[in-house]
Amino acid sequence: MTVFLIYEYFILCTLAESAQILGVFHSPSYSHQTVFQSIYVELSLRGHNVTVGTSHPLNNPRLVNLTEIDINRQTCAIIEEDQTISNLAKELGMYEKMVKFYAVAYKVAESIWSDSRFVQIYNDSGSRFDLVIVQDTMLPLLHPVAFKLKTPLVGVSSNGGWARSHYAIGNPNPLSLYSELYLPYGRRMTLPEKMANALYDIWNRYYLNFEALPKCDQIARKYLGNDIPYIQDIEKNMSLLLLTTNPILYEPRPNVPTVISMEQMHIKPVKPLPKDLKQFLDNAKEGVVYFSLGSNVKSINIPEKLRKVLIEAFAELPYKVLWKFEADDLPGKPENVLIGKWIPQQDVLAHPNVKVFVTQCGLQSVEEAVARGVPMVGMPFIADQTRNIQRLSEEGAAVGLEHTTLTKEEFKNAIFEVVNNPKYKQNVKRLGEIWVDHPLPSLNRTIWWIEYVIRHKGTKHLRSPTADVSWFEYLLIDVILVLLTIVSLALFILYVAIKFILRMIFGGRKLKQN
């Protein structure tokens, strides 16, 4: 009875509490923002008063507890001006990519820090917040807001954890097993890959500690003043780190208790299709190839040569083709192809006539295909896409292609293989079934954890000691050094003693002989 009452009291307490939450999600990319949207909408529906900075506001008047600050204009302008997407091309070296990306990140941070609507929030001593949620990417750009507003800090990533995030929260990160997100290494790294991974890690630690983090710290101080701790201490203070991972694309790894995985956060129940699209798909009894390169790469930007290969191949296919193409007109469009600037991808993938998804293999697109059970032909361009298609091919759920050397025959063969060989469909279904099997839906788990942080004003009690020890303590270098000293000392004493004894014996004999 008492247990029941306590339980009821607890439920009432948690329901009654409506927290003030600030979220800042700086990546101006639709596929990243959809993950954050699911979280902040749900928090607002649960009665929290949520204020977010986002590049893709929902502007839904029914979400009465949600205030969105639209940062699309300034952040998109920076990303376009710096050609960020082409700078992430898989052909470029990792250092080159990261340094260019860091440079863009500083500009994005400045544009948000200096935004008057945002200044009003962090510079108003009357601001009362209970929690700050920030996007956690390769740099802790806006994490210091939490310190300024005196709230616990939650980091959330629309993909897995960056090496920096793992260091900050104290996650074990053995380089023999795990590599940085955008490195294209599989589950069992070869010796040269492990060497490259180790060298990258040394460079990354150096660059973060001596260049990137001081720069982020300097930017934050410019706006918050000098009374803030060093940025690394602030990022280490994250109460929770929410990562978008899954057991299919990401190798399982040991996580400290404050790292929580989210799966399929942006997957929504199937909605009815727009009429013209529904008609096109319904009538395509011969099957449909759905082609989209996502919201970052965009098929309007691909090289002319590749576009020609795709158009010629599509024209010769015995299927209909639905192509997400970001313009009104596609010159030379074959009869069997329908283009659309924007396509409700999750709902199209749920249509039974869609036989194959030709994709760039961005994380969110892959998740949607797996959720709807559609096998893939993958054509990676940037970021983690190479890694994703490698994993899906290993699982027999997709065929990977290299777009720089792609020929018409190769492309057609890949599509025929995936459509006609039932193994691809079976495998993608198998993966989907593993993926959704959890004691609680992912969104419920995520919200529970965020509210847990609010209820306990942080998770100091869960902080892993690995976040606070230095690397030489972690690797027992201090212990090894002491042991080595003791052993060497013992050996030295033994050596001196033996030498002394020998001299006593033989020295004595020598004397006698003389």
List residues near ligand NAG by CB under 6 A: 18, 20, 44-45, 47, 49, 51, 63-65, 67, 119, 123, 147, 152, 223, 229, 233-234, 237, 239, 440-441, 444, 457-458
Question: Least separation, in Å, of the C-beta of 326 and ligand NAG?
Answer: 33
Question: Least separation, in Å, of the C-beta of 62 and ligand NAG?
Answer: 6
* Runs of H (alpha helix) within 421-468: 422-435, 442-455
Angle formed by the axes of helices 422-435 and 363-372, nearest 10°: 100
Question: Least separation, in Å, of the C-beta of 27 and ligand NAG?
Answer: 22
**Cβ 457 vs Cβ 450: under 8 Å:** no
Distance, in Å, from the CA atom of 273 to the CA atom of 348, rounded to the nearest integer, reads 7
Burial bucket for residue 227 (CB in 10 Å: 0-12, 13-18, 19+) = exposed
| Nearest to ligand NAG of 386, 442 (CB atom) | 442
Residue 170 has, within 13 A of its CA and on its CB side, a CA count of 19
Distance, in Å, from the CA atom of 461 to the CA atom of 397, rounded to the nearest integer, reads 42
φ, ψ for residue 134, nearest 5 deg? -125, 155
Q: Pick from 29, 36, 37, 30: which is nearest to 63 by CA?
A: 37
| Nearest to ligand NAG of 440, 496 (CB atom) | 440
Distance, in Å, from the CA atom of 144 to the CA atom of 148, rounded to the nearest integer, reads 6
Question: Least separation, in Å, of the C-beta of 41 and ligand NAG?
Answer: 9
Question: Least separation, in Å, of the C-beta of 259 and ligand NAG?
Answer: 17
| Nearest to ligand NAG of 170, 458 (CB atom) | 458
**Cβ 332 vs Cβ 310: under 8 Å:** no
* Runs of H (alpha helix) within 174-303: 191-207, 213-224, 231-236, 275-283, 294-297
**Cβ 60 vs Cβ 181: under 8 Å:** no
Question: Least separation, in Å, of the C-beta of 5 and ligand NAG?
Answer: 22
What is the radius of gyration, based on Cα positions, of the chain? 28
Distance, in Å, from the CA atom of 153 to the CA atom of 234, rounded to the nearest integer, reads 9
Question: Least separation, in Å, of the C-beta of 464 and ligand NAG?
Answer: 15
| Nearest to ligand NAG of 30, 452 (CB atom) | 452
Question: Least separation, in Å, of the C-beta of 34 and ligand NAG?
Answer: 18
